[in-house]
Amino acid sequence: MAGARPRVARTAPGESVTSRALSVLDAFDEQHAALTLSQVARRSGLPVATAHRRLADLVDSRLLYRRADGRYEIGARMWHLGLLSRPTTMREAALPHLQDLVSLTGLTTHVAVLDGLAALVVDRIGGSRTVLTRHSPGGRLPLYCTAVGKVLLAFAPAAVQDQALRALVAHTRHTITDPEAIRRQIREIDRTRLASSRQEHRDGVASIAVPVFRGGTVVASVGLLAPLSAGVHKHVETLRSCSAQVARTLEALERANP
C-alpha cells in the first residue's frame, strides 16, 4: 500500500523466529517463574529494548502473560501446548502408580525423563516418612549422581554419555567425578536394571531407581528417596512393580491416543 512504512525485521542475521522466542523463554525456570523486564534482559543476555520487543510479541501470542505488577510469566497458550508433550503423557501414566508406591513405602518418589544432559522431573510425590526432593515437576537433575539420572544415562545414546561424563561436578563430598567409575556404574545398571545414589547429590539422602521400558526402549525412570537410615533398598521389588505398571498404563494411553 502506498505510503505504508516498511516493516523492520527484528531478528538478527541468521536468527530464526523460533530461536528469537526461545532466547526469552529460556529465561524462565522453576526458580524464576515470574520475571520483570530487566530480569528477562539480564537472564537472556539481551538489551532491554530488544527484550521488551520480544516480550511484547510473546504476550501478543499468549505464550507469555503480563501480570498487573508488570512481571511476566508463562501464558495459557504455552500451558496448553505443554499438555500435549511427552512428559505430560508420562505423568498421566505414572501418577496413580506413584501414589500407590508412596502409600506402600511412605517414601518420596519421582519419575523423570531424559532431557538433553539432564533428568527432567515429570512428577514428584512426597512421603510421610522421608525427605522431600528440592525439585518440583519441571526441575532438572544431574544424570551422573542421582539414581533416576543414572538410569537414564545408562540407557542413553553413547554421545549423550560421553558429553555427560565430560562435565562432572561435585555436589557433595560423596559425588563420584571419575568418568571411569561412572562408566562401571553404567555397565552395572545396564545389567541389573537398578541404580542407586548415596549422598552423591544431597547429603543424608539415599535413592534408588529403575527404568520404565516401552517397546524395548527406556522412556523414563522411577525412583525412591529416603534418609540414609531408612534402608531404601528393601523396596526394590515394590519399585520394579511400580515401573512395570507405569509401562502398561503408558502403552494403554498411547493405544487410546494414536
* In this structure, CATH architecture of domain 17-81: Orthogonal Bundle (1.10)
Q: Where are the alpha helices (DSSP H) in the chain?
A: 17-25, 37-44, 48-60, 76-82, 86-105, 147-154, 158-164, 179-192, 236-256
> Can you give the pLDDT of all 258 residues of the chain as single tens digits?
333 333 333 444 445 667 778 889 989 876 788 899 999 999 999 999 999 999 999 998 888 888 888 999 888 677 666 655 556 788 889 999 999 999 999 999 999 999 889 998 888 998 876 666 666 777 889 999 999 999 999 999 999 999 999 989 999 999 999 999 999 999 999 999 999 999 999 999 999 999 999 988 999 999 999 998 888 999 999 999 999 999 999 989 888 875
101 closest CA partner among 251, 236, 257, 256: 236
What is the Cα–Cα distance from 216 to 214, expressed in whole angstroms? 5
Domain 86-256, CATH number (from 3.40.50.1100, 2.120.10.30, 3.30.450.40, 2.60.40.10)? 3.30.450.40
Q: What is the DSSP string of 135-197?
A: --TT-EEESSSSHHHHHHHHTS-HHHHHHHTTS---SSTT----HHHHHHHHHHHHHHS-EEE
Residue labelled with grid coordinates 531478528 = 11
